[in-house]
Amino acid sequence: MKTERLDAWTSEGRRVAVWRSAPEDFAPDAPIVVMSPGFARRMRDVGSIALCLVGNGAIVYRFDSIDHIGLSDGDIRNFTLTGMRQSMIAAIELARATENRRGVRLVAMSLANLAAYQVAAEDKDIERIMALSGVVDGHRTITEVTGRDYLSMAREELPAILPVMGHDVDPVPLWTDSRETRCLSYERTIRSLKAISAPVANCVAEGDPWVDVGECTTAYTDGDGGERLVIKLPYSGHDLGRNPVAVMTILERMASLAIGNGPMHDADPQAVLMPTFDAVLEARIAERQQDFSEQRAAKTEGSPAV
């Protein structure tokens, strides 16, 4: 897998760091996949998925969101879902401009699933959406993660800093974003899903404390704008990347959905070529080095990327 660093720009002129990974040779109609890691995860954390997709002929664009950890502008302290959505749009437009094609598929992890739905609701050239532990009710998930319903509080009640998954977040930008755009609400998810005619799938662990399988099933029933598929994973936890044996099973299924062209529920996981153990390990270590070296370069340039 060959990975190159590119820059995309949001409509407000902020830089989004993008990694483009492609096979040495690819077909003219190779699927273009834009992939977003979830909250508190970097694009290098989804390297094994990129490796698998590229190994099966796809061209993969990954990005770190603005106002987040990773190589893009801003700090996670100021995280908003709108920032994640703007970053996704920037990466999609970069992919289209680079590959000179409109059709793009989205792979989203966790909270990035909400951004994917909101983008696809307004972009008819999104061909399909696959999520892993995809959040459908952002308000409820954030309440579960933080232990309190901060989004329902009055602004003056908010703490100065909210620790979220090991990171200090200023709750005001997130709270304001949520109030102004309703981007974290379940109702917004349903509205988006109704507007998406492309196939949509979500792999959710039955023991996920932050995303409820039943909630996802209901959302897909209520937001039945096209084919909807829920894949139940008999695992516990939200961070499924921790179990590489489970990841290989999920990868096989996700890759078959991401690169396939027929109905998602008919996708054949057996047709997927899986990356070798060593290839996954090598890619993980190589991408960590690439990430660190880009961080060092950004510091030298005086960029705010962290």
Which residues form the interface with other proteins (CB under 8 A)? 203, 217, 220-221, 224, 227-237, 242-246, 248-250, 253, 264-265, 276-278, 281, 284-285, 288-289, 292
Residues 238, 213 contacting (CB under 8 angstroms)? no
123 vs 252, beta carbon nearer other proteins: 252
Joined tokens for residue 105: 């598929």
89 vs 254, beta carbon nearer other proteins: 254
Amino acid identity, position 37: P
5 vs 288, beta carbon nearer other proteins: 288
Alpha helices in 133-266 (DSSP H): 138-146, 171-181, 186-195, 213-222, 244-259
Q: How far is the CB of 231 from other proteins (least distance, A)?
A: 5
Q: How far is the CB of 274 from other proteins (least distance, A)?
A: 8
Q: How far is the CB of 11 from other proteins (least distance, A)?
A: 32
What is the rounded distance in angstroms from the CA atom of residue 271 to the CA atom of residue 267?
9
Q: How far is the CB of 99 from other proteins (least distance, A)?
A: 30
152 vs 236, beta carbon nearer other proteins: 236
SS3 call for 59: strand
What is the rounded distance in angstroms from the CA atom of residue 82 to the CA atom of residue 181?
8
What is the rounded distance in angstroms from the CA atom of residue 64 to the CA atom of residue 35?
10
Q: How far is the CB of 281 from other proteins (least distance, A)?
A: 7
Alpha-carbon 287 to chain mean position:
18
Q: How far is the CB of 221 from other proteins (least distance, A)?
A: 5
30 vs 216, beta carbon nearer other proteins: 216
Alpha helices in 45-155 (DSSP H): 47-55, 81-99, 112-121, 138-146
81 vs 259, beta carbon nearer other proteins: 259
